[in-house]
Amino acid sequence: MLLYRTALERLGPDAVRVGHRVAGYRNDEGGVTAFVETRDGQRKEIAGRLLIAADGLHSAVRAQMHPGQPPIQWGGAILWRGTTPGVPIRSGASFVGVGSLRHRVVLYPISPPDPATGLATINWIAEITVDNSDGWTQGDWNRRVSVDDFIQHFEGWNYDWLDVPAMLRGAKEVFEYPMIDRDPVPTWVDGRVTLLGDAAHVMYPVGSNGASQAIVDARVLGAAVLAHGATPAALDAYNDQLCADISALVLRNRGAGPFGILGLVDERCGGVFDDIEKVIPAAEREAFMARYKAAAGFAIDALNASPPTIAPGARVRGA
Ligand SMILES: Cc1cc2nc3c(=O)[nH]c(=O)nc-3n(C[C@H](O)[C@H](O)[C@H](O)COP(=O)(O)OP(=O)(O)OC[C@H]3O[C@@H](n4cnc5c(N)ncnc54)[C@H](O)[C@@H]3O)c2cc1C
């Protein structure tokens, strides 16, 4: 709602139209036309200078831009997600991964603790990997399920610092998702049309970076439009800056991203150890995480040292 309200404030009350679906586009001389279908069956052609398609995983614009793209890729992982009140672990903002590459729980707080109870909202993801040779047969890409449908995979995961079954059972609602992505495409641009967010680079959510990358895309594209105006040159500059690197990140996330470290521990000691330093010393752990952060653009020092992508108050000329 924050983004929606801000868009209306900045762009005017007619800027957001619901019940409209973009079905395709045509690059014209000096402009672009979007083919739009409305919920009540009307077809419209809407002309503009650029078309920025942020239409997600099933992007109609990407399908037209890359008609030969392979279908959605599912590697066999199934995720269940929910939130449960709980006491935050370690620093109070720690991101915790328990288990192995193919069978794990990830949790982190998404609110400060309530001063009265000490409980924060803990976001959790429970995950297993199964045989994917028949493809995803459940139909929905996002459906509500009961904890009883999957809790058996995590029974016995009780530790003195975390009771996983109790955490899973404490959620008011739970959703199931297959972990999916798409093979990268060689370009996000066709003339005056570009892709942004999941339409450009849907990726496994192992690095918590799908939505944050969509925000980075918007900032980089905004900076390119400031530099080049609302022109195809701006889209090319955006594409040159991001497409190759983020496509590599999509493939890197198939390799488990930061959770690769759980795989290393598992390989070296089957997950059983008295002293983690003897299994994977702190310097190796830090180097592993630093490599992922640098690839994903999460390296804190580099991020904090960077100037703003768009200077505060900047406006596009002639817009
Ligand atoms: C289980 C899971 C966990 C995740 N965890 C994280 C995380 O921790 N951190 C993170 O940063 N990201 C995470 N992500 C990824 C994040 O949810 C996505 O990257 C993000 O929602 C992408 O935003 P988007 O706007 O590009 O696409 P979407 O959110 O998919 O939005 C696309 C919009 O386009 C609309 N649309 C679709 N087709 C059309 C059309 N033809 N015409 C017009 N409109 C259309 C849709 O209705 C929708 O409103 C996770 C994803 C999953 C599945």
* pLDDT tens per residue, range 69-78: 998 999 899 9
Closest ligand 1 atom to the C-alpha of 20?
43
- pLDDT at position 139: 64
In this prediction, residues 272-278 reach a mean pLDDT of 94
Nearest to 30 by CA among 46, 52, 49: 49
pLDDT at position 133, please? 84
Give me the pLDDT at residue 319, please: 57
ipTM value, please give it. 0.97
Q: What per-residue confidence (pLDDT) applies to 318?
A: 62
pLDDT at 163 over 70: yes
pLDDT at 202 over 70: yes
Decide: 121 and 110 in contact? Cβ < 8 Å: yes
Cα 52 off chain centre by: 18
**What is the reported pLDDT for 127?**
95
Asked if pLDDT for residue 296 goes beyond 80, the answer is: no
pLDDT at 313: 87
Residue of 198, 213, 246 best suited for mutating to test ligand 1, as the one with most atoms within 8 Å of CB: 198
- pLDDT average, residue stretch 51-67: 97
Residues at CB less than 6 angstroms from ligand 1: 21-22, 54-58, 60, 79, 81, 177, 197-199, 205, 208-212, 214
- Check if the beta carbon of residue 26 is closer than 8 Å to that of residue 35: yes
Q: Which atom of ligand 1 is nearest to the CA of 57?
A: 30
Per-residue pLDDT reduced to its tens digit, 227-244: 999 999 999 999 999 999
CA of 91 to the centre of ligand 1 (A): 30
Give all domains of the chain, ordered by start, each with its CATH number: 73-181 (3.30.9.30), 183-319 (3.50.50)
Distance (Å) from CA 158 to ligand 1 centroid: 33
Centroid of ligand 1 to alpha carbon of 211 (angstroms): 7
